[in-house]
Homo-oligomer: A and B are copies of this chain.
Amino acid sequence: MHDNHDIDILISEVGPRDGLQSVKATMPTALKTAWISALAGAGLREIEIGSFVPAKLLPQMADAAQLVAHGRTLPGLFVTALVPNLKGAQAAFEAGVQKITVPVSVSEPHSLANIRKTHAQVIEEVRGVIALRNQHYPHVQVEAGLSTVFGCTIQGVVPADEVIRLALVMAGLGVDEVGLADTVGYANPTQVRQLFSRLRNELGTVAGSAHFHNTRGQGLANVVAALDVGVTTIDASQGGIGGCPYAPGASGNIVTEDLVYLLESMGLRTGIDIDRLVAAREWLQQGLPGEPLYGFIPDAGVGKNFHYAKDL
């Protein structure tokens, strides 16, 4: 389990997975490990280190097991990975992850288009993952990452009832956490408050993280809404890499640097040293030459009032 009594909000860095799997280039393993070390050194407590998928599908993720091994050497870091199925879970468990996230699309047309699985098939896969975990890896956490929960480019509206129904199925299967992801950047703060409130009411402590994409520039606005209803784990990626970057010049994920600024300026402790976090971009720039990085804080700086909110 996390030992996070000294922070208010856990930022889960998804750049090494959500970011690096979205770019064409493959970042060399040595630079990935240096980057992950720098992120952990800046105070990030949880990093989604990669995705356990066949290397021929996503060559950028081929070194996931090596990165897990490296991450496990870093003090205070909780090492997570994405797994699409039972085979991936087996590999992730063997590699030594502390948590896996299994993506589950609430939009069935999206699930079929993306991984060619119906809800029934995905549920069976998660059932298998939980059985494996329970039998051989009882200390590893399993999160169901519900995607397209705020709407879907294929299905359109995704009713809250469908989200909650699938969340309850996942909880019933024994996952430790159900997170909600705005896969296509449709979420608005009203909807965020309603859906996360309901998730918490229905699932209690199994209600999990918020994963917002910044496709329409609404990422941090949605974070404010999520904080209002008690969400305490928020995904972000350094430089905003990955996500669903539809708009040219626009980050896909919310930018970790800007999120840390938001939270810390509100007086919410993240445990992250923002200067060291910004410095960690160096590795990403070396590892992905020419790839644009986003974020306001790296350019604008934190200003003279940073940490002022605590004293208001």
Q: List A residues at the B interface (Cβ < 8 Å).
A: 150-153, 156-157, 160, 184-186, 188-191, 194, 214-218, 220-221, 223-225, 228, 246-250, 255, 258, 261-262, 265-267, 295-305, 308-309, 312
Contact = CB atoms under 8 A, between A and B. Distances in A.
B215 A296 contact: yes
A309 B190 contact: yes
B304 A186 contact: yes
Contacts of A216: 258, 261, 296-297, 300, 302-303
A119 B218 CA distance: 37
Given A185-B303, A190-B309, 19 more contacts: A151-B303, A151-B304, A151-B308, A157-B305, A186-B305, A188-B265, A189-B262, A191-B265, A216-B261, A217-B220, A217-B261, A217-B295, A217-B297, A218-B220, A218-B296, A228-B228, A247-B299, A248-B299, A249-B299
12 contacts: A151-B305, A153-B303, A160-B312, A188-B262, A188-B265, A189-B266, A217-B255, A217-B258, A218-B262, A246-B301, A249-B299, A250-B299
B246 A300 contact: yes
A35 to B, nearest CB: 22
A75 B146 CA distance: 48
Contacts of A249: 249, 299
Nearest to A240: B217
Q: Which of A160, A185, A303 has the most CB of B within 10 A?
A: A303
Nearest to A214: B296
A167 to B, nearest CB: 17
A302 to B, nearest CB: 8
Contacts of A188: 262, 265-266, 309
Given A188-B262, A221-B220, A221-B224, A250 B156 contact: no
Given A221-B224, A223-B221, A250-B299, A266 B190 contact: yes
Contacts of A194: 312
Contacts of A153: 303-304
B250 A300 contact: yes
Given A151-B305, A157-B308, A305-B157, A296 B186 contact: no
Contacts of A299: 246-250
B186 A258 contact: no
A262 B192 CA distance: 12
A308 to B, nearest CB: 6
Contacts of A301: 246
A312 B159 CA distance: 8
Contacts of A248: 299
A305 B182 CA distance: 12
